Amino acid sequence: MNNPEHNPGSTPDPIRDEGSRLSRRQAITGGFAALTAVGGGSSLWQWIRNLARDESPADVFKGDAPSDAVWKLWCERGWTLEARHYLKLGRNVQCKVCPNNCILEPGDRSHCRNRINRDGILYTMAYGNPCTFHVDPIEKKPLFHFLPGSQSFSLATSGCVFRCLNCQNWEISQKKPEETKDPTGPAFYLKPPLPESIRLQDLYRLTLLPDQLPPVVKVLNCPSVSYTYSEPTAYFEYALDCCKMAREHRLKNVLVTCGSIEERPLREILQYVDAAHVDLKGFSDETYRQLNSGKLEPILNTLRVYRSLGVWFEVINLVVPTYTDHLDEIRRMSDWLVKNLGPDQPLHFSRFHPQHKLTHLPPTPVAFLVKAREIARSAGLRYVYVGNAPEVTDGETTFCPGCRRPVVERQIFAVTRLDIVDGRCRHCQTPIAGRWEDRRG
């Protein structure tokens, strides 16, 4: 079933919207063209132009799909699958997984680099082929209110839906699958008993299909799997199938995500997700446009959906000098979080260090992070953290909102104090928001 050459879109999928109808954007831009031709009224004209711009799909890589020879090897490895959530527009396709809404002609590659249009069918090339994996403390995600002190099996494929100027993992997030994987030579599978070490050439050839994942995670004594490092939305089908398989084996699933995803696929995957770290990279469209090539509103919608479905999540805001170090924006963001998600919503302010395309900027001043924490606390948030700044000695400490005593202390991803019993403060029995149970799978 993983080889679409042998199963070319034969299974009708209620989620996939078949039929070659015009997208909303095409209808809008078509209307815009007609109005331009007849010289429409200026305010209506401006409104339509803005609407058309908002709905424009992202840039894609024209004609960049792999050759027939590479595609054949890819299929033989089981590294591809027909995509979910897309529209057929004649021989073109439009992906509906994230708000980029890429429109691909045959032979094109998507904005996230992981999807291609081959003969009118959208395929993912990021399936069963993680380019990296690791066992991390859950605190490293960071998640501070979810299975503290546990380890999480963490994996990623190439690709990302964003273009963050400050990306920490651009070596994989801004790469195509073919740049991180090698479909030639003998296949390499990960299964118990695990080897003591793995050579780089084995990692390039590694196949880890969803049904092969749980035995590996269990033998490593991890209660959870994290989809992280790059962006799980860009490898949606693989993450979804792994989540299903992990859930079947009583493992937890953790998404580390930018939150830029359409609501339909989001609701689909959240049925199997136990916790998430969601980046809120700023609190204005302008910031998202300049820093990340994204938009704010889809992220806010994602946060609302998480809350409505009761999936545990923590929000992370990386403070990037000159881009997001605006106290008024932090105030508005904190107020929004309290109003829409409630005072128990954890918020992490994280310190920027020069990365990728922003190596000319200095690290975030620690004093700014402390001020941001003060603002978020005064807005009413109970659990506010300062990360990547060991100078702030209580930056990663959880305080009981009842008696104000420290209940969880952490140092470099290790839990050094845990005074929570049955989800309550050991001293005053005030409930502490989070998922504290099941420290072992």
Task: Supply the Cα-derived Rg of the chain in whole angstroms.
Answer: 23
Let me know if 14 is exposed, middle or buried by CB neighbors in 10 A (0-12, 13-18, 19+).
exposed
Taking the complex as a whole, how short is the minimal distance between the CB of residue 336 and ligand SF4, in angstroms? 25
Of 176 and 181, CB closest to ligand SF4? 176
176 belongs to the binding site for ligand SF4 (CB under 6 A): no
Contact flags string 12-51 toward ligand SF4, x per CB under 6 A: ----------------------------------------
Point out which span in 18-26, 105-113, 190-198, 278-286 binds ligand SF4 (CB under 6 A).
105-113
Stretch near ligand SF4 under the rule CB under 6 A, chosen from 92-100, 171-179, 282-290, 314-322? 92-100
Is residue 116 involved in binding ligand SF4 (CB under 6 A)? no
- The sign of the CA dihedral 89, 95, 101, 107 is negative
Q: Is 174 in the site for ligand SF4 (CB under 6 A)?
A: no
Q: From residue 338, how far is each of 279, 301, 330, 331, 345 by CA, in Å?
A: 16, 15, 12, 11, 7
Tell the smallest beta-carbon distance from residue 81 to ligand SF4 (Å): 14
> Taking Cα atoms as reference points, which of 152, 225, 135, 136 lies closest to residue 413?
136
Decide: is 65 part of the binding site for ligand SF4 (CB under 6 A). no
95 binds ligand SF4 (CB under 6 A): yes
Should residue 230 be labelled a site residue for ligand SF4 when binding is judged by CB under 6 A? no
- Tell me how far apart the alpha carbons of residues 27 and 52 are, in angstroms, rounded to a whole number: 9
Comparison of 95 and 311: residue with beta carbon closer to ligand SF4: 95
- Pick from 176, 361, 173, 179: which is nearest to 279 by CA? 173
Residue whose CB is less far from ligand SF4, 114 or 324:
114
Q: Is 245 in the site for ligand SF4 (CB under 6 A)?
A: no
Q: What is d(CA 77, CA 54) in angstroms, rounded to the nearest whole number?
A: 39
Residues 394-423 that bind ligand SF4 (CB under 6 A): none
CA 154/CA 132 separation, integer angstroms: 8
> Which of 157/398 has CB closer to ligand SF4?
157
Tell me which residue has tokens 């859950």: 138
Question: Are the C-beta atoms of 240 and 266 separated by less than 8 Å?
Answer: no
- Provide the edge-to-edge strand list for the sheet that holds 121-124: 81-82, 121-124, 115-118
Binding-site member from 28, 52, 89, 102 for ligand SF4 (CB under 6 A): 102
In 237-270, which positions are buried (b, 16+ CB within 10 angstroms) versus exposed (e)? bbbbbbbebbbeeebbbbbbbbbbbbeebbebbb
The minimum distance between CB 161 and ligand SF4, in angstroms, equals 4
| List 117, 233, 287, 345, residue binding ligand SF4 (CB under 6 A) | 233
Residue of 80, 110, 129, 364 interacting with ligand SF4 (CB under 6 A): 110
Q: In whole angstroms, what is the distance from residue 187 CA to residue 203 CA? A: 10
Task: Candidates 65, 125, 161, 254: give the one binding ligand SF4 (CB under 6 A).
Answer: 161
Residue in 89, 97, 358, 381 binding ligand SF4, rule: CB under 6 A: 97
Under 8 Å CB-to-CB from 39, ≥6 apart: which residues? none
| Piece of the chain touching ligand SF4 by CB under 6 A; list 34-42, 110-118, 133-141, 399-407 | 110-118
* Cβ-based nearer residue to ligand SF4, 234 or 407: 234
The DSSP element (H or E) to which 152 belongs, if any, is: strand 151-156
Alpha carbon distance 49, 29 (integer Å): 8
Q: Of 367, 369, 379, whose CA–CA distance to 324 is shortest? A: 369
Q: Of 58 and 338, which CB lies nearer to ligand SF4 in the complex structure?
A: 58
Scanning 93-101, 220-228, 343-351, 433-441 for contacts with ligand SF4 by CB under 6 A, the matching segment is: 93-101
> Which residue from 98, 240, 242, 246 is in contact with ligand SF4, where contact means CB under 6 A?
98
101 makes contact with ligand SF4 (CB under 6 A): yes
132 binds ligand SF4 (CB under 6 A): no
Least Cα distance to 261 among 162, 140, 133 occurs for 162
Helix (H) or strand (E) holding 257: strand 252-257
Burial readout 312-336 (b: 16 or more C-beta within 10 A, e: otherwise):
bbbbbbbbbeebbbbeebbbebbbe
Which is closer to ligand SF4, CB of 85 or CB of 382? 85
CB nearer to ligand SF4: give 139 or 178.
178
Could you say whether residue 350 binds ligand SF4 (CB under 6 A)?
no
Residues forming the site for ligand SF4 (CB under 6 A): 58, 95, 97-98, 100-102, 110-112, 115, 161, 233-234
